[in-house]
Structure 1
Amino acid sequence: MQPLGVSAYLLRSALAVVALACLAVSSGRAAAPAPAGAAQAAAGAAQPAVVIPRFSDPNARIEGPNLPAGRVVRWATGDDYAPFHYIDADGQPAGFAVDLARAVCSELKIACTLQAWRWDALLDTIDKRQADVILAMVRPSPELRSRFAMSARVHQTPARFVARRDKAPAEATPEALAGRAVAVVTGSAHEAFLKAFFPKAQLKTFEKADAARAAVRDGEAELAFGDAVALAFWLNGTSSNGCCRFVGGPYVDARYFGEGVGVLLKPGDEKLRQAIDYALQRLDESGAYAEIYLKHFPIGIW
């Protein structure tokens, strides 16, 4: 996924956030349609339904935290990947990861610190004893799993199709997309997925995701396939000109799009990992996770 610039993210999401009180929060994999955001309302288009993903098992029973009294947990996150983590206009860490980290600490009733780091220094903070945990949108890999322990998942970004409203197929099946021009980033996991499962689609490849999206808007392609978060903010923003909507999906094949992200910890810190998993489950059950999710992702991506 290409991150939104902080100023662009704040501008795009400002109107959408005011609709949060009206959005229907789902406790499972279904939700009522949400009212249209201001940008799409102006274009006469309805917001897609907002579904809150659930990553915890409601039937699981995780033991309560058993952390040493007085322990302070040091969190590290990234500084330039809105809406997940970034530096706001006041120079403070902000974003989904920041709010979730604070909620975990509040649930556990422990003292925490949080610092945003450059991407090239972030993963070294635990080894250098500059942080106890990392919460950032770092895709798990065999190398990452050999280096860190990881909590339960906190986020997963699916892949989605968007299509021009005047040429949108009723469904996004391999048969329906046969012969249709689909814009996608060259060399990406999304391109590989299309080649494997939509072999008869006519792929139009681009170096950048914004160019692929523009191709659909401008009629050079009928659909685009990519990161659902980036596509959702584009659909709700001004640069799409209300051209398009989601079609089909979501797609979450871990071989192409990853298993989702969790909190990274030093291997062997089981008490802290268990405490974080306990807090995440409690936040899910109480609806606090849903509130944080809707604050930063007010546009449906599932």
Structure 2
Amino acid sequence: MLCTLILALLTNPAFAQALPYHSDPSAREILPSLTPVPAIRFLTTADFPPFNFRDASGELIGFNIDLAKRICAEANVACTIQAWPWEQAASALADSQGDALIAGLAMTDENGAQFDFSSIYLALPGRFVTRAPDIGVFDANALAGKTVSVRAGSTHETFLTRYLPDVTLARFDSEIAALEAVEDGKADAFFGDAMRASFWLNENLTCCGFAGEPYFRPNLFGEGLSIAVPAGHDAVRHAIDWALVKLKDNGTLDELYLRWFPVGFY
């Protein structure tokens, strides 16, 4: 077992990764809000592991849960975290039943009409995955004529057809099926959402790994994860942004990322 883990660590450079700094570097100079924020009532959901879910004992845990607690501690405010069904969470925030929603609410124009958003705390790049022996020699510019698996109808398929039109696409109904095609030798590489691919790689340590660089395309893959607050609640949003800067600079964000994502996706 130990030998297997060591081999995976050697062949997969995605381990022991630090989290990139997603905010504008000038945000390091941000000052704490002068408007008092006595508490932050976080809303979330309980059905999106490893971000927010319940463990066997029913306790709410996950990356977002730990992050919310650390934000409150850094901002020195009282903190509550309440889980709502996904279809009700945004409405609960709009009805002032919470101060902030940390559940991956998309930053669409429709949501932007009701909510303001914190800075990005986790960007979601696209990544290539190959079999382990091919990681070191992978070159995205040399994929012409090669077969790349992808989830059919995804924005990652759009990316490939737009930027790498000479590759042969193998379209699958799910990311899992597309990744398994690489494992089985039916495709030379996979391209898709790096975060979801990291979950699969965590269960297939000796088979495959990320290859090449991450691709950040907000217009295709989304801006990333941020925290929603009711529009105009600038004091709460400012306190969250200030805490996020501090948590990145003191290493806490890296610690949480490594804890919940053992196979880093950057």
Query: If the length of structure 2 is used for normalisation, what is the TM-score?
Result: 0.90
**1:70-219 matches, cutoff 5 A:** 71-166=38-133, 170-174=137-141, 176-219=142-185
Q: What CA deviation, in whole Å up to 9, does each residue of 1:169-215 have, x standing for no partner? A: 823324x1111111110111111111101111110111111111111
Residue type at the aligned position of 1:270:
D
Give 3-state SS (helix, strand or coil) of 1:153's partner. coil
Residues 135 and 108 of structure 1, relative CA distance in 2, 3 Å threshold: same
Whether contact under 8 Å (1:184, 1:205) holds in the other structure is: yes
The C-alpha deviation readout for 1:221-247, integer Å capped at 9, x for no partner, is 11111111222232231xx37222211
* 1:283 match: 247
How far is 1:38 from its partner? 7.5
Distance 1:38 1:76, change over 3 A: farther
1:33 — aligned with what? none
Contact 2:125–2:214 (CA under 8 A) maintained in structure 1? yes
Which residue identity lines up with residue 86 of structure 1 in the other structure? Answer: F
Aligned position for 2:190: 224
- Sort the Cα spacing of 1:39 and 1:271 in 2 relative to 1 into closer, same or farther, 3 A: farther
Partner amino acid, structure 1, of 2:189: L
- The count of residues paired between Structure 1 and Structure 2 equals 263
Superposition RMSD in Å: 2.2
State the secondary structure of the residue aligned to 1:260: coil
**1:51 aligns to 2:18 (yes or no):** yes
Distance 1:51 1:122, change over 3 A: same
SS in 2 for 1:113: strand
- The equivalent position to 1:293 in structure 2, one of 254, 257, 261, is 257
In structure 1, how many angstroms separate the alpha carbons of the residues matched to 2:102 and 2:134?
A: 40
Post-superposition shift, 1:256?
A: 0.8
Once the two structures are superposed, residues 6-40 of structure 1 have per-residue CA deviations (whole angstroms, 9 ceiling, x without a partner) of xxxxxxxxx9xxxxxxxxxxxxxxxxxxxxx8754
Cα offset, 1:88, TM superposition: 1.5
Tell me the distance in 1 between the aligned counterparts of 2:250 and 2:8: 36
Tell me by how many angstroms 1:44 deviates: 7.8
Q: The residue matched to 1:124 in structure 2 has which SS?
A: helix
Distance in 2 (CA, whole Å) between partners of 1:113 and 1:286 is 23
Deviations 1:114-168 (A, max 9, x none): 0122221221111222211101223322222222101111111111011123555
How far apart in 2 are the matches of 1:250 and 1:241? 19
- Bigger drift between 225-234 and 154-163 goes to 225-234
Alignment CA distance shift 1:266-1:43 (3 Å): closer
Q: Which runs of 5+ in 1 are unaligned?
A: 1-14, 16-36
Code of the residue aligned with 2:221 in structure 1: it is: F
Q: Report the alpha carbon displacement of residue 43 of structure 1 after superposing the two structures with TM.
A: 5.9
Q: Which moved more, 1:84-93 or 1:99-108?
A: 84-93
Q: Secondary structure at the match of 2:88?
A: helix
Measured in 1, the distance between the counterparts of 2:157 and 2:236 equals 38
**Which segments of 5 or more consecutive residues in structure 2 lack a partner in the other structure?**
none
Query: Percent of aligned pairs with the same residue?
Result: 37
CA distance in 1, matches of 2:218, 2:24: 19
1:198-277 aligned at under 5 Å gives the runs 198-237=164-203, 240=204, 242-277=206-241
Whole-Å separation in 1 of the counterparts to 2:48 and 2:59: 14
Matches within 5 A, 1:34-49: 40-41=5-6, 45-49=10-14
Match of 1:10 in 2: none
Deviation at 1:41, TM superposition (A): 3.0
